[in-house]
Amino acid sequence: MSSDTPAIAVKNLCKTYDIYQSPAHRFLGVLRGSRNTAKECFTAVSDVSFTVNRGEVVGIVGRNGCGKSTLLQLITGILNPTSGLVTHHGRVSAILELGAGFNPDATGRENIFINGAILGLSADDIQDRIAEIIDFADIGVFLDRPVKLYSSGMYVRLAFAIAISINPDILIIDEALSVGDAAFQRKCFTRIENLKKHGTTILFVSHSETTVVELCDRAILLNEGEKICEGKPKFVMGLYNRILNATEASLEETLLAIRAEAASTHRQRHNEDSGNTDTELDSKVDFYDPNLAPKSTITYESHGATIGNAQLHNAKGSKVNILQRGAPYVFSYEVHFDKPLHDVRFSFLVKTIRGIEVGGIASNTETLGTSDFAAGTVVTLSFPFKCLLTSDQYFLNAGVLAMVNGEEIFAHRILDLYTFNVQPVERDTVTGVVDFGVKEAVSITYHEQKHLK
């Protein structure tokens, strides 16, 4: 196989399901070899085309029901396409639906041999690998128990251990990395990174922005069976978040805007690759997206204070929820006091979409000049900060603390009061959640070489 030959090539792939009024209509349709008895059709995958190069890691993202799993099943040959073509070159190993390929009544050890045979291994090959598989799966005494007794985590542990044991040329994974404890997930990521280092082509589905950005060279965005765009992971995940936060009424308009933006970016990259221009693709403008609103807000009972009118503004005073990294912003909210409160402190906290606390602050008497507020008082709190966060979605919490009967309590508290996205930065070198600005201080010192005789 030529090094220029794609490991996976998908061309105009479609998968349509007939929907029948009853099992009898379905049976008649099979007998007649006709779709005339079908009430309607459902298209799970519609005219999707892309290639995956040898040694490339590509993530497929999209909302639930957008056709991601169906696409992987078409690529692996579990499903036959209605039209279109899939080709791949090299040994393929796949982890798809939970427990797929397992005999539920057989033990884990027996299923190692069953799955190994499905993957093309001889009994001797499996025997040579079984110690490594058992060690990686790490399911203890359950190895010799029927897999129907396994938890979802045990299924994935064993399936992943078997799939990687054959050192595949192509590894296809459907959401398996989201199952299992943190230690096992880290072990999986380490093994995937090792496979990537040695040239394995990897295609996987994930809802985790961190996983896609950390592991992938490229990402593909699907919506309702169609490919919306493909490109750098951070860019694609930014578009995906806009789809997630769009309302039903605004979704079509959002999709049109995303297609136009993706097409424009593709043209810019093409020009850059062709040497026609030195285009800078980094985002330069923050703005307010009315469709981006938290759907997980939790408002606690008031004990003398009420938080409201949360705002996030840029340096020009414009309301925003799509931010640039490195720019200054001000988060503010109003507090209405319904009764007198003493020793009051005001706070805000930033969390990631996975609930990790990034950072926050609480006021004190020295900064505000007072901590006692009378009934009927209305104040606005402003918290200036510089956005040092990497591309992702974040949530702002707000709280009013006060001393009541010698105990500090929340006079009011709102979780996920406000949400914002930090725009992706093209050709980014920063990983994790916070940009420490290390790249600006990185230096190199050369030392005199010592030639050994």
pLDDT at 181: 66
Q: Is 30 helix (H, G, I), strand (E, B) or coil?
A: helix
Worst-scoring range by mean pLDDT, 14-28, 285-299, 414-428? 14-28
The closest of 64, 88, 97, 74 to 15, measured between CA atoms, is 74
Token code pair at residue 106 = 């057989």
pLDDT of residue 203: 94
13 token code pair: 């792939």
Q: Comparing 365 with 275, which gets the higher pLDDT?
A: 365
pLDDT of residue 276: 46
pTM for the model stands at 0.66
Residues in Cβ contact with 298 at an 8 Å cutoff, skipping those fewer than 6 apart: 414, 415, 416
Mean local confidence (pLDDT), 6-22 = 87
Say how far apart CA 435 and CA 212 lie, in whole Å. Answer: 18
Min mean pLDDT across 74-88, 98-112, 255-269, 339-353 is at 255-269
Rounded-to-integer distance, Cα 348 and Cα 362, Å: 7
Average pLDDT over residues 312-335: 94
- For residue 1, is pLDDT > 80? no
DSSP assignment letter at 434: B
Q: Which of 25-29, 91-95, 180-184, 381-385 has the lowest mean pLDDT?
A: 25-29
pLDDT tens readout for residues 206-249: 887 778 887 889 999 999 999 999 988 888 888 888 888 777 88
Beta bridge partners of 311: 332
Alpha helices by DSSP H, 51-122: 68-76, 108-118
Collapse the DSSP code of 102 into the 3-class scheme (helix H, G, I; strand E, B; otherwise coil) and give the result: coil
pLDDT value of residue 282: 43
Domains, in order of start, for the chain: 8-272 (3.40.50.300), 298-422 (2.70.50.60)
Contact predicate 311/320, CB 8 Å: no
| Buried-state track 64-91, b at ≥16 Cβ within 10 A, e below 16 | eebbbbbbbbbbbeebebbebebebbbe
* 331, burial (CB in 10 Å: exposed 0-12, middle 13-18, buried 19+): buried
- Helix spans in 119-208 (H): 123-137, 152-165, 182-197
156: its two tokens: 């994935």
Residue of 403 and 295 predicted with greater confidence = 403
Given a contact cutoff of 8 angstroms between Cβ atoms, the answer to whether 417 and 396 are in contact is yes
What's the pLDDT tens digit per position in 257-290?
Answer: 888 777 766 655 555 555 543 333 344 588 998 8
How far apart (Å, rounded) are the C-alpha atoms in residues 392 and 407? 37
Under 8 Å CB-to-CB from 19, ≥6 apart: which residues? 38, 39, 40, 41, 42
Strands lying side by side in the sheet with 38-52: 38-52, 8-20, 83-88
What would the mean pLDDT of 31-46 be, rounded to a whole number? 70
Report the share of the chain in percent with pLDDT over 70: 84
In whole angstroms, give the CA distance from residue 341 to residue 379: 13
- 126 to 102, 105, 142: CA distances (angstroms): 16, 20, 19
Average confidence score pLDDT of the chain: 84
| Whole-angstrom distance, CA of residue 413 vs CA of residue 296 | 14
Pair of tokens at residue 142: 């359950």
Per-residue pLDDT band at 93 (split at 50, 70, 90): confident
Dihedral in degrees, nearest 10, Cα atoms 50, 53, 55, 61: -10
Per-residue pLDDT, averaged over 84-90, amounts to 92
DSSP state of 229: E
pLDDT of residue 137: 87
* Interval 401-435: pLDDT, tens: 999 989 999 999 999 999 998 987 766 677 778 88
